[in-house]
């Protein structure tokens, strides 16, 4: 990859203000949740870009940097040897005690630390956004026609996976995208588009920070309304499943913790997002060429999974036959979609459900993530998520993994069927189109997702692999055709 950064990363280069920090960063990065350290060997680190954001005389000094990290296991990342991450750094000779946990290292007299931990820095960013300021290469942009948030210090959100956020007193949340990628981040792009459609299904966008990389624009961060007092759909579904499995004989529709009402509302919410995205960014007919492109992409993914998982390889032909259902399907349309939907991407608030995190599937390239696709991909992803919710607790209730309890399995399946069906009902109610009326397309997308899950679980969570394998088998038998 050509380096177009102002500094070239040579540790001996005195022009790199982070040069002396590279070892400290190499020690610090693997302790960060957003850094994909698991099973990866870091081969090297360089500074891709660096800029001072704070004005002269402001304390602390605030710096923005993009670093490139190369991994020894490059073959696994599809040929790219380097991944790039954004840092916001606070620099001060003696920083306050409450950022001590975020210290990265020292540079001369100064302590360098993760800037998001410092309330003064998050306050500065918020006020720069409300002022539409430009600092160095960073442009702070308030979303037009939104209420300016009250400026105050933020505090870091704990427990996040791939990005880092700070929360401003339950009013607003700013998300720093850790992966530095050229182009407009679809999370910002789609929130902006949905906000301008007046969507009630997303947390309103309040602003953004934009920068540059490789001479192209890059999304640094986005600011949106904070959905306080919310809980994610996965936790709620898990509570419902637990309530069911704890009963000896009650059916899914008889237990108090029935989730079908919520599943119905989630269906309506996802449908509304699809309608709004279509209205904002348009639709295209899915023609034969488009369908075969989608199939090709699915088949590629199938072959990667088959190469790694014997259980997939054995069924390769049967799976491929289902995936080819995309071409066989009735004419349909393509549009911008969420792309990585699951119950954890939906937040229950006291006024309804919100959909969050429109970044798309993290393993895909930006070009793939912004490519129009069938809304059925999102619908299928939700159906998969209901399966996961239903079956992931079985291991807690079963005597042992080798001795599955058919009664429990049947009840989990009942929960999945009931909620998948309620979700489709809700979706159909809002769009007028029942996803179950396109069984080939839906089944192809669902199986594509299940194959991907089998590969993912085999690599990351072997104890969960039985969940997508079970679904794969169901989707390959005629009884699994369509939704009940």
Partner 1 sequence: MNEGVSASAIAAAPSDEDHVRDVTEDHGASAVEEPSADDFRHARTLPVDDEWYKRAVFYEVLVRAFADSNRDGFGDLSGLTDKLDYLAWLGVDCIWLPPFYDSPLRDGGYDIRDYRKVLPEFGTVADFVELLDQAHARGIRVITDLVMNHTSDQHHWFQESRRDPDGPYGDFYVWSDDDTRYSDARIIFVDTESSNWTYDSVRGQFYWHRFFSHQPDLNFDNPAVCEAMIDALRFWLDLGIDGFRLDAVPYLYERDGTNGENLSETHAFLKRCRKVVDDEYPGRVLLAEANQWPADVVEYFGDAEVGGDECHMAFHFPLMPRIFMAVRRESRFPISEILAQTPAIPERAQWGIFLRNHDELTLEMVTDDERDYMYAEYAKDPRMKANIGIRRRLAPLLENDRNQLELFTALLLSLPGSPVLYYGDEIGMGDNIWLGDRDGVRSPMQWTPDRNAGFSTCDPGRLNLPIIMDPVYGYQAVNVEAQSNSTASLLHWNRRMIDIRKQHPAFGLGNFHELGGSNPSVLAYVREHVDADGFRDLVLCVNNMSRFPQPVELDLIAWKDCVPTELTGGVPFPAIGELPYLLTLPGHGFYWFAIHEAEER
Supply 177's token pair.
Answer: 């995208």
Residue closer to partner 1 by CB (options 156, 217) is: 156
Residue closer to partner 1 by CB (options 43, 231) is: 231
- The phi, psi pair for 175, rounded to 5°, reads -110, 120
Residue 247 in the binding site for partner 1 (CB under 8 A): no
Which region, judged by CB under 8 A, interacts with partner 1, from 1-9, 26-34, 238-246, 473-481? 238-246
Q: Which residues pair with 134 in a beta bridge?
A: 139
Which region, judged by CB under 8 A, interacts with partner 1, from 25-33, 48-56, 172-180, 234-242? 234-242
Decide if 24 contacts 114 (C-beta within 8 A). Answer: no
The distance of closest approach from Cβ of residue 236 to partner 1 in the complex, given in angstroms and rounded to an integer, is 5
Supply 361's token pair.
Answer: 């599937």
Residue 235 in the binding site for partner 1 (CB under 8 A): yes
Q: Which residues pair with 89 in a beta bridge?
A: 63, 114
- The closest of 364, 392, 389 to 377, measured between CA atoms, is 364
Supply 173's token pair.
Answer: 């949340």
Which region, judged by CB under 8 A, interacts with partner 1, from 173-181, 222-230, 324-332, 367-375? 222-230
Residue 300 in the binding site for partner 1 (CB under 8 A): no
Residue closer to partner 1 by CB (options 140, 259) is: 259
Residue 242 in the binding site for partner 1 (CB under 8 A): yes
The distance of closest approach from Cβ of residue 160 to partner 1 in the complex, given in angstroms and rounded to an integer, is 12
Residue closer to partner 1 by CB (options 137, 257) is: 257
Decide if 46 contacts 86 (C-beta within 8 A). Answer: no
Residue closer to partner 1 by CB (options 153, 183) is: 153
Q: How many residues bind partner 1 (CB under 8 A)?
A: 23
> How far, in Å, CA of 98 to CA of 111, rounded?
13
Tell me what percent of the chain is helix, strand and coil, each rounded to the nearest 5.
45, 20, 35
Residue 243 in the binding site for partner 1 (CB under 8 A): yes
Residues 133-162 that bind partner 1 (CB under 8 A): 155, 158
Decide if 88 contacts 121 (C-beta within 8 A). Answer: yes
Which region, judged by CB under 8 A, interacts with partner 1, from 140-148, 256-264, 272-280, 362-370? 256-264
> How far, in Å, CA of 326 to CA of 322, rounded?
8
Q: Is the peptide bond before 307 cis (omega within 30 degrees of 0)?
A: no
The distance of closest approach from Cβ of residue 256 to partner 1 in the complex, given in angstroms and rounded to an integer, is 4
Residues 336-375 that bind partner 1 (CB under 8 A): 348, 350-351
Decide if 186 contacts 202 (C-beta within 8 A). Answer: no
Supply 60's token pair.
Answer: 């602390």
Supply 207's token pair.
Answer: 């602003």
Residue 77 backbone class (left: φ over 0; alpha: ψ -120 to 50; beta: rest): alpha
The distance of closest approach from Cβ of residue 231 to partner 1 in the complex, given in angstroms and rounded to an integer, is 4
Per-residue interface string for the shown chain with partner 1, residues 97-126, x marking contact by CB under 8 A: -x--x-------------------------
Residues that bind partner 1 (CB under 8 A): 98, 101, 155, 158, 228-231, 235-236, 239-240, 242-243, 246, 254, 256-258, 261, 348, 350-351
């Amino acid at each position: 990859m050509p380096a177009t950064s102002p500094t070239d990363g040579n540790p001996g280069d005195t022009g790199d203000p982070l040069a002396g920090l590279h070892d400290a960063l190499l020690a610090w990065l693997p302790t960060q949740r957003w850094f994909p350290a698991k099973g990866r060997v870091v081969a090297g680190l360089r500074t891709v870009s660096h800029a001072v954001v704070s004005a002269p005389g402001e304390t602390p000094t605030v710096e923005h940097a993009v670093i490139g990290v190369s991994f020894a296991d490059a073959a696994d990342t599809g040929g790219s040897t380097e991944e790039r991450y954004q840092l916001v750094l606070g620099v001060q000779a003696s920083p306050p005690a409450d950022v001590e946990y975020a210290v990265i290292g020292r540079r001369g007299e100064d302590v360098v630390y993760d800037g998001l931990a410092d309330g003064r820095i998050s306050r500065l960013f918020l006020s720069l956004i409300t002022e539409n300021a430009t600092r160095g290469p960073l442009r702070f942009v308030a979303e037009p026609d939104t209420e300016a948030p009250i400026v105050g210090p933020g505090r870091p959100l704990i427990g996040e996976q791939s990005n880092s956020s700070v929360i401003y007193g339950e009013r607003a949340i700013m998300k720093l995208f850790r992966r530095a990628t050229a182009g407009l981040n679809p999370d910002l792009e789609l929130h902006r588009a949905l906000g301008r459609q007046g969507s009630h299904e997303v947390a309103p966008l309040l602003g953004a920070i934009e920068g540059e990389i490789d001479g192209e624009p890059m999304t640094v961060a986005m600011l949106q309304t904070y959905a306080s007092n919310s809980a994610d759909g996965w936790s709620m579904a898990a509570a419902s499943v637990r309530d069911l499995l704890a009963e000896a004989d009650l059916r899914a529709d008889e237990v108090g913790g029935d989730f079908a009402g919520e599943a119905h509302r989630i269906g309506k919410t996802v449908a509304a997002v699809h309608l709004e995205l279509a209205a904002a960014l348009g639709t295209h007919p899915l023609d034969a060429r488009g369908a075969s492109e989608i199939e090709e992409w699915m088949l590629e993914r199938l072959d990667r999974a088959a190469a790694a998982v014997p259980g997939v390889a054995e069924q390769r032909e049967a799976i491929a036959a289902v995936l080819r259902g995309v071409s066989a399907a009735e004419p349909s349309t393509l549009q911008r979609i969420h792309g990585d939907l699951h119950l954890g991407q939906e937040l229950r608030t006291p006024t309804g459900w919100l959909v969050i995190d429109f970044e798309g599937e993290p393993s895909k390239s930006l070009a793939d993530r912004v490519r129009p696709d069938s809304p059925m991909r999102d619908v299928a992803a939700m159906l998969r998520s209901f399966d996961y919710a239903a079956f992931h607790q079985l291991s807690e209730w079963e005597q042992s993994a080798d001795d599955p309890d058919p009664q429990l399995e049947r009840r989990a399946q009942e929960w999945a069927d009931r909620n998948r069906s309620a979700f489709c009902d809700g979706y159909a109610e809002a769009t007028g189109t029942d996803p179950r009326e396109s069984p080939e397309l839906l089944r192809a997308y669902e199986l594509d997702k299940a194959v991907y899950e089998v590969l993912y679980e085999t690599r990351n969570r072997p104890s969960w692999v039985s969940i997508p394998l079970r679904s794969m088998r169901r989707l390959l038998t005629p009884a699994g055709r369509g939704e009940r």
